[in-house]
């Protein structure tokens, strides 16, 4: 009997780590930390992006940009998004630097307003950027230490189990409603949908991720992100047209004011592009616009 007890005890000790990993008792912050560990820590990423916006009347507008990100060995990270189309916003840049302690500094560079970086305040995080439905925080990502994460009842949507995480400002312990709600796939810890809520807890914007692909081990990436403002009936589709994981595309010196001033100096206003150039660009715009129509309103079905 003693030998049997010893064998059972040994078996329990061996299984304990496995059971811990599979435990449903993960907290909201633990789930968010796992999301960042898997998907946000690749050291060098460069993307070419296009955006198309459409309002309630069917009027559309386009943006083109390049996104750079770099994670250093000390845990610090740098993010930069540079717009190059249309010409009136060419060179406009969002720059974010996170130090090893997790503190992030965000700034915006506007070439038309001389050589200076305009620091982005916490309040500016919630304002739409350059006519899109995305905020600066949507573009560079949220800082986990700035928020409190509460796990809610799991849900099955589209025949797939999801963690549900409500997000509150860390400094506000008495908030009646969360700022947003993340729906996290349980199979790969990837956020499939985020609902952005207003001050009364009602849905304001819905952010959905599409064209998901595993790119390296446990890391996944989305090829398209659709942000829908349900109140204003306005949509913005961000599409990654090309992506590289390479040190060569994101050298450290890029993420500095001096590099921006040198490579994107003030440019005198130029004549409007001729109709031929607009026609050449219209094909990709039409394709993106059709994708907005296909994806719009396709939020994940909830029981």
Q: Is residue 164 part of a domain?
A: yes
Q: For residue 216, what are its two tokens?
A: 């390296």
Give the Cα separation of 192 and 185 in Å (integer).
6
Q: Is residue 301 part of a domain?
A: no
Give the Cα separation of 47 and 242 in Å (integer).
6
- Stretch 47-61: mean pLDDT, rounded? 95
Q: Is residue 145 part of a domain?
A: yes
Q: Is residue 48 part of a domain?
A: yes
pTM (global) more than 0.85: no
Q: Is residue 130 part of a domain?
A: yes
Structural domain boundaries enclosing 45: 26-295
Range in 158-172, 180-194, 252-266, 287-301 with the lowest mean pLDDT: 287-301
Looking at residue 153, which CATH number applies to its domain?
2.50.20.10
Give the Cα separation of 198 and 200 in Å (integer).
5
pLDDT of residue 268: 65
pLDDT of residue 209: 96
The three state secondary structure string of 195-216 is EEECCCCCEEEEEEEEEEEEEE
pLDDT of residue 73: 87
**pLDDT exceeding 90 applies to what percent of the chain?**
55
Given a cut of 70, whether residue 14 has pLDDT beyond it is no
Parallel, antiparallel or unpaired: strands 180-185 and 117-119:
unpaired
pLDDT of residue 44: 94
Give the Cα separation of 299 and 289 in Å (integer).
18
Instruction: Dump pLDDT digits (tens) for 71-120.
Output: 888 888 899 999 999 988 999 999 989 888 878 888 999 998 888 898 87
Given a cut of 90, whether residue 228 has pLDDT beyond it is yes
266 compared with 269, residue with greater pLDDT:
266
Name every residue whose Cβ is closer than 8 Å to that of residue 56 and which is 6 or more positions away in sequence: 232, 233, 234
Q: How many domains does the chain have?
A: 1
CB 224 within 8 A of CB 295: yes
pLDDT of residue 292: 62
Give the Cα separation of 296 and 299 in Å (integer).
8
For residue 208, whether the previous peptide bond is cis, meaning omega lies within 30 degrees of 0, is no
- In 3D space, the residue among 24, 47, 1 whose CA is nearest the CA of residue 243 turns out to be 47
Q: For residue 20, what are its two tokens?
A: 């811990």
Q: Is residue 107 part of a domain?
A: yes
Work out the pLDDT band at 8, boundaries 50, 70, 90. very low
Q: Is residue 10 part of a domain?
A: no
Given a cut of 80, whether residue 290 has pLDDT beyond it is no
């Amino acid at each position: 009997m003693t030998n049997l007890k010893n064998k059972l005890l040994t078996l329990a000790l061996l299984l304990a780590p496995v059971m811990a990993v599979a435990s449903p008792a993960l907290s909201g912050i633990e789930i968010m930390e796992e999301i960042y560990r898997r998907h946000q820590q690749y050291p060098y990423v460069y993307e070419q992006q296009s955006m198309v916006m459409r309002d309630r009347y069917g009027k559309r507008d386009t943006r083109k940009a390049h996104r750079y990100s770099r994670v250093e060995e000390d845990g610090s990270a740098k993010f930069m998004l540079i717009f190059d189309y249309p010409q009136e916003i060419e060179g406009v840049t969002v720059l974010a630097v996170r130090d090893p302690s997790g503190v992030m500094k965000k700034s915006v560079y506007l070439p038309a307003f001389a050589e200076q970086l305009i620091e982005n305040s916490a309040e500016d995080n919630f304002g739409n950027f350059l006519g899109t439905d995305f905020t600066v925080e949507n573009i560079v990502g949220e800082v986990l230490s700035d928020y409190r994460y509460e796990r809610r009842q799991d849900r099955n949507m589209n025949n797939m189990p999801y963690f549900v995480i409500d997000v509150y400002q860390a400094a506000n312990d008495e908030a009646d409603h969360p700022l947003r709600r993340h729906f996290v796939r349980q199979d790969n810890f990837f956020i499939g949908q985020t609902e952005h809520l207003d001050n009364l807890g009602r849905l304001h914007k819905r952010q959905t991720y599409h064209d998901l692909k595993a790119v390296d081990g446990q890391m996944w990436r989305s090829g398209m992100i659709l942000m829908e403002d349900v109140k204003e009936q306005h949509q913005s589709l961000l599409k990654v047209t090309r992506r590289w994981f390479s040190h060569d595309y994101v050298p450290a010196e890029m993420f500095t004011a001096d590099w921006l001033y040198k490579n994107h100096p003030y440019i005198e206003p130029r004549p409007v592009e001729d109709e031929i150039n607009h026609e050449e660009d219209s094909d990709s715009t039409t394709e993106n616009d059709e994708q907005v129509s296909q994806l719009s309103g396709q939020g994940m079905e909830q029981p």
